[in-house]
Structure 1
Amino acid sequence: MRRAALALVTGLSLMALPACAATASPASPARSSVSATPSEGFNAADVMFLQMMIPHQRQGIEMARLATTRAVRGQVKALASAVETTQRDEVHTMTAWLIGWGRPVAADPRAHAAHGGLHVTSPAEIATLRTMDGDGFERRFLNVMIAHQHNAIDMARTEIGTGLNAQVKSLARRVDQSRSAQIGQMLAELN
């Protein structure tokens, strides 16, 4: 069961990679329909989603990097590695889109107060994770990451419902699917 869940999460995570990898550098050959700058229009919801997801994803990357060296079980380390790779590529893509649109990558956090503020894990929680290792780290990491990925799903679903740009909405659908699968695997690892 756990192997099947890991395969599912890894597969979903890797589905996003070719699209994101196509934007890795201006000289890289295009391998998908996703471009560095989506060609169609965008709205404020698209911009807000990207600006909120970038710091959220960076936190996920930071926590995943901790887990690749501090977790005990190979399944948790493999999940963390997949999270890091996928979210790093997504941050690259989202950053390129905002720059291409002439929008700031980092918005004033107060600008999103009406939308519930930035959905990030508290810096204190990440600092606590940095002090832990072994079984204690692994259990806390899984619990914190489950909550963190729920926030990503909430933001993605808001984008799907209110965004305009088809490529950004497609990314949001991939975030919803992959994070939901990751949460399922993490819950299985906690049991």
Structure 2
Amino acid sequence: MSSKRSHVRRAAAVVAAGAAALVLAACGGNDADSSTNGHSGHGAATSSPSAPASAAPGQQNAADVAFAQGMIPHHRQAVEMADLAPTRAESPAVKKLAADIKKAQDPEIRTLSGWLTSWGEQMPAAGAVDHSSHGMGGMMTTAEMEGLKAASGKAFDTAFMELMIKHHEGAVTMAKTEQAQGAFPEAKTMAGAIITSQSAEIAQMNKLLGKS
């Protein structure tokens, strides 16, 4: 009798366990669904409010536009200066520096121009560099540019580096403004690269001039 009761109890336990397993499985499925829906809902809830506060990739603001429109003519003038070095510079270090400047800034001009085009913004006029912006961003005056063109040998080397230091300092200031106020990630990345490379070149030119 006791053996029969034991079998009955065991059978009841198996049935109960099976029922419990089915219930748990059903709950587990519901939890999984609700968990998925919960994450989805959470994603929507967190991404929606943050979207207006942060710039999405490809979204620019007025500072980004000003950076591109200002840096294009600034770079063009640096390239114009660098183009004088092969035939006028005496120092191999100055010739190499000029080549490095042109190599870095020509592609940046193309990139900046591409951004302005994609944004539907006005492009700085191509062709002759505007030398009238002296005092803004370290740009040279027409007289300074003509003086550089007339120089050669050591006189050119000295004038080139002194003017380029001022020019680079202007670019670094413009780039720092972009980093502080811009929204377009790629423009901010370029600004960081300009700060790093041109600060290093300023230090190099000061050393060549015996100022450091």
TM range (shorter): 0.7 to 0.9
- Name the CA distance, whole Å, in 2 between partners of 1:73 and 1:119: 24
The residue aligned with 1:59 is: 77
Equivalent residue for 1:78, pick from 82, 96, 99:
96
Q: Which residue number corresponds to residue 169 of structure 1?
A: 188
> Number of residue pairs matched?
147
Cα deviation, residue 119, structure 1: 4.9
Q: Per-residue CA shift, 1:129-171, capped at 9, x if unaligned?
A: 0011001111011100000000000000000000000000000
By how many angstroms is 1:69 displaced? Answer: 2.1
CA distance in 1, matches of 2:58, 2:118: 12
Q: Quote the Cα distance in structure 1 between the aligned partners of 2:205 and 2:75.
A: 17
Residues 111-126 of structure 1 mapped to structure 2, 5 A cutoff: 119-126=138-145
Matched residue, 1:49: 67
What does residue range 1-191 of structure 1 map to in structure 2 within 5 Å? 39-106=57-124, 119-191=138-210
Q: What is the CA–CA distance in structure 1 between the aligned matches of 2:146 and 2:62, rounded to whole Å?
A: 33
CA contact (8 A) 1:61 1:88 kept: yes
Give 2:32's aligned residue: none
- TM superposition outliers: structure 1 runs of 4+ over 4 Å: 116-119
Distance, in Å, in 1 between the alignment partners of 2:164 and 2:79 is 11
Native 8 Å contact 2:59 2:183 kept in 1: yes
> Once the 2 structures are TM-superposed, how far is the Cα of residue 175 of structure 1 from its aligned partner?
0.5
Cα distance, 1:85 vs. partner? Answer: 1.2
User: 5+ residue gaps in structure 1?
Assistant: 1-37, 108-112
Partner amino acid, structure 2, of 1:94: L
Structure 1 residues 74 and 119 mapped into 2: Cα distance closer, same or farther (>3 Å)? closer
Amino acid at match of 1:71: A
Percent identity between the two aligned chains: 39
Partner AA of 1:150 in structure 2: E
CA RMSD of aligned residues (A): 1.8
CA deviations 1:70-120 (Å, max 9, x no partner) are 11111110010000111111101100110011101128xxxxx9xx85652
- State which structure, 1 or 2, has the greater radius of gyration over its C-alpha atoms: 2
CA distance in 2, matches of 1:92, 1:174: 16
